[in-house]
Amino acid sequence: MRISKYPIFTSKNNFSNIDSISYKLMLRSGMIRKSSKGIYIWLPIGVRILNKVVYIIKKYMNSIGAIELIMPIIQPECLWQKSGRLKINNLEIMSVIDRKQIKYILGPTNEEMILNLVHNEIHSCKDLPIIFYQIQYKFRDETRPCFGVIRSREFIMKDAYSFHFSKFSLQETYKKIFYLYKKIFNCMKINFSVIRADNGFIGGDISHEFYASRINNNTKISKFSKNYKELKLVKVLDINSVDELSDKLQVSINNIIKVIIIWNDNLSKYNNSLLALAIRADKKLNFSCVSNTLSLKLPIKLATKNDIKKILKINNNIIGILNLTIPIVIDCDVANMVNFVTSTNVNNEYLINANWGKDLILPEIKNLCGKNDKQTIVDNGIEIAHIFQLGTKYSHSMKTYIKKDKNRTELIMGCYGIGITRLIAAIIEQNNDQYGIKWPSIIAPFSVALLPIHFHSSIEVRDKTEYIYKKLLDHKIDTLLYDRKEYFSVMLHDVELLGIPNILIISKNNLSNGIIEFKDRINNIITPVNSNYIMDFLLKKVKNVI
């Protein structure tokens, strides 16, 4: 692509009033422009990156036999009434009314729509399991859009839905997509973490969220950067409070986890009459918040020491999160703790420098202490994907069945989303420097940028540049030729800002010495290359990763 024929819309504005690195760089590099609050126009460079991300996701989804379709953005409100989700107080839903006064919803998600399709088109369990997916714009009337496309009202999403006649089949597909998502994000060189999550507005029993760090990959201090200390197991006797434990271990009280055990008659979701709630030791449980978050009736009754000793067989004065035989829910702050201390609940032993994902699997996360749910997580990471085992939640309410032998059974369902636009922002958050974006090669808008100095006045420079450009195009390598009359500093500024990973600097002086300079944008290293072998050099650098 010749830059004289391709507008790139880079901006010299530093956008100093914007805190989000990705939002600032997306504006400066000409990827997006704001249309209205939380709604953005994707410009040509942004569209190239979108297309590359979509290509990768489609390739992986197709590899497991998922079938692509496209559903309408506007959904009949009657479908949502049938599923019961309109009864949920969700302010993010935007409704529209047509000229015949029929109500519709601007689709934030598509469970009702896809289930209605399957209900009408698939009637036998012989056609199951099946996975449908789409790449589509969604709309959620976000109350506080911020950070550019990280939290916007209109966004692009890959949503997939699987249908089954048995729970085992759902679990197998769920596991398959769980690992497929890991492959997708590893392919894009994303530093991510997976946590057990709240099913929230979507519903169902089990879900996992994939979070990308908002910290640049060069930064060392982050829960995602795995700056972990050595795990230790110590025995501490005669401890009656977290303050005493803090003093004896010489650790801050806000780095200790304490667990509170509650009774409630409305714990059917957890198949247990007891539930463990883990909070930071310097915090207090907010019972009103627990009631709202877990849908439990007040008053909430605490288990006594005798209850804990008799039922759970725990004698420790401080209860931790290990070796519990009951469900555990942790507070948002606990999910973000690094190198923390927790009781093993056995023989007065404590783990020091424990970490989620390394030593312990993250349990369900809820707001237990009154802060905004997941606020701390959002501060440190960006949710890029969410997968759900929905079970029969929608098929039951919408009376959707499938034939199994001579009987009918309710359809079992799973759903699996990737936020494509916020995924792009997450990649920028992790890959940038003072000059601009540093795209992983597989999703860069162009693989190679040609910067010819005096392109219009030097025949040698122009001929060599045109030769390299033609050869790169013959090899189907995305190449940007900077053929506008600009100072070299302007050309280099633009392509570094755009994050093009491979840059060739072609000058008359260097050509007379048989040299072309190659700049590795990722490592910011310039290497002189013999001009006769420049194509061999480039073809080794630019590889098709998928």
Per-residue confidence in pLDDT tens, the chain, 546 aa: 999 999 999 998 989 888 889 999 999 999 999 999 999 999 999 999 999 999 999 999 999 999 999 999 999 999 998 988 887 656 678 889 999 999 999 999 999 999 999 999 998 888 999 999 999 999 988 877 888 999 899 999 999 999 999 999 999 999 999 999 999 999 999 998 887 776 565 666 678 889 887 655 443 333 344 467 889 999 999 888 898 999 999 999 989 999 999 987 665 566 678 899 999 998 888 888 888 778 787 778 888 888 898 889 898 889 999 999 888 999 988 988 889 999 999 989 999 999 887 788 878 888 888 754 444 344 457 899 999 999 998 989 888 888 877 788 889 999 999 999 999 999 999 999 999 999 999 999 999 999 999 999 999 999 999 999 999 999 999 999 999 999 999 999 999 999 999 999 999 999 999 999 999 999 999 999 999 999 999 998 887 544
Q: Which residues contact 372 (CB under 8 A, 6 or more apart)?
A: none
Query: Is it true that the peptide bond before 299 is cis, omega within 30 degrees of 0?
Result: yes
Hey, which residues does 381 pair with through a beta bridge? 213
Residue 385: what residue type?
A: A
Closest by alpha carbon to 50, among 136, 160, 142, 153? 136
CA-based radius of gyration for the chain: 27
Contact of 348 with 237, CB cutoff 8 Å? yes
Q: Which residues contact 296 (CB under 8 A, 6 or more apart)?
A: 264, 266, 267, 290
Catalogue the long-range contacts made by 509-513 (C-beta closer than 8 Å, 24 or more residues apart): 511/460, 511/461, 511/464, 512/460
Q: Structure tokens of 3? A: 């830059």
Total tally of structural domains belonging to the chain:
3
Q: Structure tokens of 248? A: 């004896």
Q: Structure tokens of 10? A: 């880079």
Hey, which residues does 449 pair with through a beta bridge? 480, 503
Parallel/antiparallel/unpaired status of strands 274-280 and 412-419:
unpaired
Residues 52 and 170 in one domain: yes
Question: Is there a domain that residue 207 lies in?
Answer: yes
Contact of 517 with 526, CB cutoff 8 Å? yes
Residue identified by tokens 């908002």 is 214
Residues 250 and 338 in one domain: yes
Residues 94 and 37 in one domain: yes
| DSSP letter assigned to residue 91 | T
Which structural domain, as residue segments, surrounds residue 97? Answer: 3-222+374-430
d(C-alpha 389, C-alpha 413), whole Å: 7
Residues 174 and 307 in one domain: no
Question: Is there a domain that residue 441 lies in?
Answer: no
Question: Is there a domain that residue 285 lies in?
Answer: yes
Closest by alpha carbon to 367, among 197, 223, 147? 197
- Edge to edge, the sheet with strand 67-68 lists 67-68, 130-139, 154-164, 412-419, 381-391, 206-213, 192-196
Burial (CB < 10 A; 0-12, 13-18, 19+), residue 122, is middle
Question: Is there a domain that residue 440 lies in?
Answer: no
Q: Structure tokens of 264? A: 């409630």
Contact of 227 with 191, CB cutoff 8 Å? no
Residue 482 belongs to domain with CATH number: 3.40.50.800
Q: Which residues contact 153 (CB under 8 A, 6 or more apart)?
A: 37, 38, 39, 139, 140, 141, 142, 145
Length of the chain: 546
d(C-alpha 126, C-alpha 403), whole Å: 9
Residues 160 and 55 in one domain: yes
Q: Which residues contact 374 (CB under 8 A, 6 or more apart)?
A: 332, 365, 367
Residue identified by tokens 């009657």 is 78
Residues 175 and 235 in one domain: no
Contact of 210 with 386, CB cutoff 8 Å? yes
Residues 21 and 136 in one domain: yes
d(C-alpha 484, C-alpha 503), whole Å: 16
| Angle, helix 420-430 to helix 44-63, in steps of 10 degrees | 110
Residues 61 and 191 in one domain: yes
Residues 44 and 69 in one domain: yes
Residue 318 belongs to domain with CATH number: 3.90.960.10
Burial (CB < 10 A; 0-12, 13-18, 19+), residue 288, is exposed
d(C-alpha 45, C-alpha 9), whole Å: 9
Question: Is there a domain that residue 523 lies in?
Answer: yes
